[in-house]
Amino acid sequence: MTDHLYYHDSFLYEFDAEVRDVTAVESRSAIILDRTAFYPTSGGQVFDTGWIVADESKSRVAEVTEKDDGTILHQLEAPTTIQKGTRVHGLIDADRRRDHMQQHSGQHVLSAAFVRLFNMPTVSFHMGAESCSIDLDTKSLTGAQVEAAEGLANEIVTDDRLVSMRFVTQAEAQELGLRKLPPVDRDKLRLIDIRDFDLTACGGTHVASTGQIGCILLRKTEKVRQGWRVEFVCGKRAIATARRDYMTLAESASLFSSHIWEVAQQIRKSQEEARAERKSGEQVQEELAGLYAKQLLAETSENSGRKVVVRVFADRDSAFTKLLAQRLTRQSPNVVAFLGSTGGQPTLVFAQSPGQPFDMGALMKETLAQFGGRGGGSKDMAQGGPAKAEGLEVTLAELAAKMHD
Ligand SMILES: [Zn+2]
């Protein structure tokens, strides 16, 4: 088993060690040291990265994992020539470690705040690349509760309370009333103590006092299978997130030439305006279709007792074509209309006045068999979307000629 230096000092970013073995994890070289300050992924906290330096070489540590027996594997980015027995120097990426400490200690404070205020225990913790989350065992979670927990958590940060670590036996731990006991039986438990606020068993790396967390910012909440998930960011991540939120809001506000606080109000107003415009646009379309139908009927002469209207529009959409077909067949009892539009996705609308003898659905199917595409309809009205627009006009004219036979 590797000596876990990070158990005793979270701020140890450099250390000396001896190579115990060089092995492999999948295709990567992996180094086992007698002691390490590299934190392996465990307990919700993600691994450290950094370098392992020997006389002749400098190897990038890409990932760190721990075996069940406590052996820590330093997985390297590139193959290595380091031999067993070599003395090496380990360098931890300090910025990444500090970020992880801010997130993990922030999680302890936040989880304790939810217990203190609302008796909501944390059942899991996830540390992501951008944000972290805890899952709370609760049936409901209100916005006011989230705000209250955030408030208390940040008070604890402002208090700058001492965060200490100690080892106790299982029996001692039972007496202490921990927030969370680990599921596995170990003879020695490592406790993280946030003075007079939280005491919990944890193997992670933590800040020395709560002020180092910086701040705790709660964001999205969502219902999950085991309760409620609360997303949060701490310290420098909180600053970066707040900055990004501000930039997004500021950009949105400038589109409306308004203050950022008024963005939601402006969006609501725009949505209402868009709805009203859509409605008046639809009215105009309907009126236009009615007038256009009247004009088409006036200029189409009757043949064998019916008027056959054929039109292919390059600048009208399918909604207008359909409206026109309805108006044509309603305004006159003896109309057959073959309409198409080629602006955008080509569409076809065939319609006849009720009582006319043809079958528009069948004619549509025949036409689409020739052009490809899908569509169909009833005896009086059919719609389709031909796969191509070339030749539609000629085909519709031929179809129209048959209606007089
Ligand atoms: Zn922890």
**pLDDT grade, residue 184 (50/70/90)?**
low
Sheet holding 216-224, edge to edge: 122-127, 132-136, 227-234, 216-224
How many Å lie between the centroid of ligand 1 and the Cα of residue 202?
4
pLDDT band at 394 (very low <50, low <70, confident <90, very high): very high
Query: Measured in angstroms, how far is the CA atom of residue 394 from the centroid of ligand 1?
Result: 75
Per-residue pLDDT at 344 exceeds 90: no
In the prediction, which pLDDT does 295 show? 94
Q: What pLDDT was estimated at residue 318?
A: 87
- pLDDT, position 185: 63
CA of 203 to the centre of ligand 1 (A): 6
Pairwise pLDDT comparison (148 vs 173), residue with the higher score: 148
Report CA(32)–ligand 1 centroid distance (Å): 25
Query: What average pLDDT does this structure show over 113-123?
Result: 97
CA–centroid distance, 76 to ligand 1, in Å, is 26
- pLDDT confidence band for 9 (50 / 70 / 90): very high
Average pLDDT in the 112-124 region?
Answer: 97
Q: How far is the CA of 123 from the centre of ligand 1 (A)?
A: 12
Tens of pLDDT, residue by residue over 270-279, are 999 999 999 9
Mean pLDDT of the chain: 94
Q: Could you tell me the distance, in angstroms and rounded to a whole number, from the CA of residue 100 to the centre of ligand 1?
A: 11
Q: How far is the CA of 323 from the centre of ligand 1 (A)?
A: 65
CA distance 126 to 271: 37
Ligand 1 centroid distance, CA of 245 (Å):
28
Q: Which amino acid makes up residue 343?
A: G
Question: For residues 5, 45, 208 and 130, what is the CA-based torsion angle, rounded to 10 degrees?
Answer: 140
Q: What is the pLDDT of residues 16-64, one digit of tens each?
A: 999 999 999 998 999 999 999 999 999 899 999 999 999 888 999 999 9
Checking if the pLDDT of 127 tops 70, the result is: yes
Nearest to 114 by CA among 144, 146, 139: 146
What's the 240 CA to ligand 1 centre distance in angstroms? 23
Distance from Cα 109 to the centre of ligand 1, integer Å: 10
Ligand 1 centroid – CA 104 distance (Å): 6
pLDDT at residue 187, rounded to an integer = 74
Query: What one-character-per-residue DSSP string does 5-35 give?
Result: GGGT-TT--EEEEEEEEEEEETTEEEEEESE
Span from the CA of 201 to the centroid of ligand 1 (angstroms):
7
Query: Ligand 1 centre from 185 Cα, in Å?
Result: 17
CA of residue 191 to ligand 1 center, whole Å: 9
The arithmetic mean of pLDDT across residues 155-163, rounded, is 98
Is residue 232 over pLDDT 90? Answer: yes
Burial level of 129, CB count in 10 A (0-12/13-18/19+)? exposed
Tell me the per-residue pLDDT of 161-177, one tens digit each, with 9 for 90 and over.
999 999 998 888 888 87
Task: Please give the Cα distance from 53 to 29 (Å, whole number).
Answer: 15
Mean pLDDT of 231-242: 97
Query: Ligand 1 centroid vs 67 CA: distance in angstroms?
Result: 19
DSSP string over 61-97 = EEEEEE-TTS-EEEEESS-----TT-EEEEEE-HHHH
316 pLDDT higher than 80: yes
CA of 128 to the centre of ligand 1 (A): 15
359 CB-near residues (< 8 Å, 6+ apart): 379
CA-CA distances (angstroms) from residue 240 to 98, 234, 243? 15, 10, 5
pLDDT at 211: 98
**The predicted structure's pLDDT at residue 389:** 86
User: CA 12, 15, 19 angle in degrees (round to 5)?
Assistant: 140
Contact yes or no for 80/29 (Cβ under 8 A): yes
Q: How sure is the predictor about 364, in pLDDT bands with cuts at 50, 70 and 90?
A: very high
Share of the chain above pLDDT 70, in %: 98
**Which band of pLDDT confidence, cut at 50, 70 and 90, is reported for residue 78?**
very high
Identify the pLDDT of residue 234.
98
Q: How far is the CA of 228 from the centre of ligand 1 (A)?
A: 19
91 CA to centre of ligand 1 in angstroms: 23
CA of 42 relative to ligand 1 center, distance in Å: 9
Among 84-98, 113-127, 383-397, which is the least confidently predicted range? Answer: 383-397
